[in-house]
Amino acid sequence: MAYKELARNKAFDGHVVKYEHASTELSCNMKFNVFLPKESQHGAVPAIYFLSGLTCTEDNFIQKSGALAEAAKHGVALIAPDTSPRGAGIEGEDDSWDFGTGAGFYLDATDPKWAKHYRMYSYITRELPALVNKELPIDGTKVSIMGHSMGGHGALTIYLKNATNYKTVSAFSPIANPVNCPWGQKAFSNYLGVDDKEAWKEYDTVELLKKLDNVKVHALVDVGTSDNFLERELKIDTLKETVAAQGQQWTIRYQDGYDHSYFFISTFIADHIQHHAQYLKQ
């Protein structure tokens, strides 16, 4: 699991550091960014993983979200991985923006064509944390997860399947019910096969919530009312109905006039960092 530092920039008395490593899960080299607050110079700090959306890389969130100031305020690290393997050389992986490169959907592919490389679920839940906890001043017992769009889907599903590994979860504009939206159906039919619809449900927030027994999740979800993908792709109304039916205590906020962009994320990122910080510091 050899890794190397590619770049380091001082920010808010801490540092943003870009790393590259050879991933065994994805069978390629992967990059990720980490914001290390100044407190990390004296010991391990809590951390929040941020999973980005379709077409994004490890850079979008770090450069565009405005999260660094709030993370520095709370002494919390930010870990921003890439959204898919890169350069796998699979026929068709670069043909469309919403599938393949930049669109790993945070699952482990089972279709033989994709199964060797497209294993973002195992990468995010196992391989990357093992590397980070071993090599960086991160307290692996105080970790949360959040994401945007496809990454919001990833954060919510990963949390629901691994709740003991994370203190809490939040999401911006998540793809909440991918088995019932075009983005999810396209990804799942290719990565997981068209026939095994039960396997699809294992990567669907709404479906996972239906099976959640005696576990209270305190999640924060924000979505803009002017999001072009709100009805067709995100299915937040379905999520809200399922949360209520399951007796969960989620905060789901419809933010008037906001869209799907990083302008929206940057407006409410402080709320999300604060949401995580209160649980990370308990």
Output the domain CATH number for residue 52: 3.40.50.1820
pLDDT digits (tens, 9 = 90+) for 59-101: 999 999 999 999 999 999 999 999 999 999 999 999 999 999 9
What is the strand order of the sheet 138-148 is part of? 3-11, 14-23, 28-36, 77-81, 45-51, 138-148, 169-172, 219-224, 251-255
Full domain range(s) for residue 84: 4-280
Q: What is the pLDDT of residue 108?
A: 98
Q: What is the pLDDT of residue 19?
A: 98
Q: How many structural domains are present in the chain? A: 1
Active site residue 227: yes
Asked whether residue 53 carries a pLDDT value surpassing 90, the answer given is yes
Q: Position of tokens 């209270």? A: 216
From 117, 148, 153, 260, active-site residue: 260
Mean pLDDT, rounded, for 113-123: 98
Asked whether residue 48 carries a pLDDT value surpassing 80, the answer given is yes
Residue 162 carries which side chain, given as an amino acid letter?
A: N
Active site residue 21: no
Using pLDDT thresholds of 50, 70 and 90, give the confidence band for residue 162.
Answer: very high
Asked whether residue 214 carries a pLDDT value surpassing 80, the answer given is no
Mean pLDDT, rounded, for 117-143: 98
From 227, 272, 275, 276, active-site residue: 227
From 52, 149, 170, 173, active-site residue: 149
Mean pLDDT, rounded, for 131-149: 97
Percent of the chain with pLDDT over 90: 95
Asked whether residue 1 carries a pLDDT value surpassing 70, the answer given is no
Active site residue 237: no
Mean pLDDT, rounded, for 260-281: 97
pLDDT digits (tens, 9 = 90+) for 243-257: 999 999 899 999 999
